[in-house]
Amino acid sequence: MTEQKENLLVTLENGIKRITFNRPERRNSVNAEMMPQMLHAIKESGGDGTRVVILTGAGDSFCAGADLNATSERDISNFNITNALREGVNPIILAMRSLPVPIIARVHGHAVGVGFNYALACDLIIASEQALFGQVFVKIGLMPDGGSTNFLPRLVGYHKAFELAALGDIIKADEALRLGIANRVVPFDELDKTVDDAARRFVELPQVALAKIKAGLNFGMNGDLAAALDFEAVNQDACYHSPDFNEGVSAFLEKRKPIFNK
């Protein structure tokens, strides 16, 4: 299946969905038209045979945040940013976190502003050595949005999160790796192979278990230990009674590689 929109490219092949920001001339900055398109693409991934999503950008950037090119003083005075976030950005972030399949961010070049936060909302971040990350909101007089006030302190601790948000400095890929923001950093000519290999591994893994792992980690980040333990107890049942569990046990006993998702 191939679906092409003006600013967003969506493909699905062999269980791997690719969602590509397609405004390379603007470093893939996001405009209002892209919000409902992206939300639809994410939500659709929960029931169309998608087993893993790759989120990336065309050209030499991942996503340079919101497109401010057409913003004027009059636009700003008449614009309700609260409604825009509640109706545009926030549903996308929530849909990404609740999607029962993994999302890989393939990051090359700039991932700044809300672009950084789209990457943070993914489950795995694989970056090229040329990737750049930044919470640059403060540089235009804003606070971070897109969920970064939740994501960043849990990743890097309060003090580093405050530094990144309050100073708005752009950090390079090796620093993002050191801080635990990126999972892997590779040379650009190895980026696609690394991302594709990871995606294929997810396709082969047990889908019920992956969905519950993602849900459990999200629950654990926002709940207490007792609640997390009970969440695990309840949701392990879906894994235990899935065909994948039977296949996993059989393969272990037969000393062979399991074949999930039969």
- Poorest-pLDDT segment among 11-20, 69-78, 119-128: 69-78
Answer for the pair 210, 50: CB distance below 8 angstroms, yes or no: no
How far is the C-alpha of 155 from the C-alpha of 228, rounded, in Å? Answer: 19
Average pLDDT over residues 117-142: 95
Block residue for tokens 């530094």: 163
Rounded to the nearest integer, the mean pLDDT of the chain is 91
For the segment 32-62, what is each residue's pLDDT rounded down to a tens digit?
A: 899 999 999 999 999 999 999 999 999 999 9
Whether the per-residue pLDDT at 17 is higher than 90: the answer is: yes
Helix, strand or coil for residue 105? Answer: strand
How far is the C-alpha of 115 from the C-alpha of 30, rounded, in Å? Answer: 8
**Two tokens, residue 241:** 């009674």
Longest CA–CA span in the chain (Å) reads 70
CB neighbours (10 Å) of residue 188?
A: 14
Common-topology check for domains 2-204 and 207-253: no
Total residues belonging to the chain = 262
Q: Which CATH superfamily is domain 2-204 in?
A: 2-enoyl-CoA Hydratase; Chain A, domain 1 (3.90.226.10)
What pLDDT is attached to residue 119?
98
Answer for the pair 186, 173: CB distance below 8 angstroms, yes or no: no
Whether the per-residue pLDDT at 5 is higher than 60: the answer is: no
Domain residue spans of the chain: 2-204, 207-253
The amino acid sitting at 48 is D
How does residue 252 score in pLDDT terms, banded at 50, 70 and 90? confident
Task: For domain 207-253, give the fold.
Answer: Lyase 2-enoyl-coa Hydratase; Chain  A, domain 2 (1.10.12)
Helix, strand or coil for residue 58? Answer: coil
Answer for the pair 129, 176: CB distance below 8 angstroms, yes or no: no
For the segment 171-201, what is each residue's pLDDT rounded down to a tens digit?
A: 999 999 999 999 999 999 999 999 999 999 9
Considering just the CA atoms, what is the radius of gyration of the chain in Å? Answer: 19
What pLDDT is attached to residue 6?
83
What pLDDT is attached to residue 4?
47
What pLDDT is attached to residue 70?
54
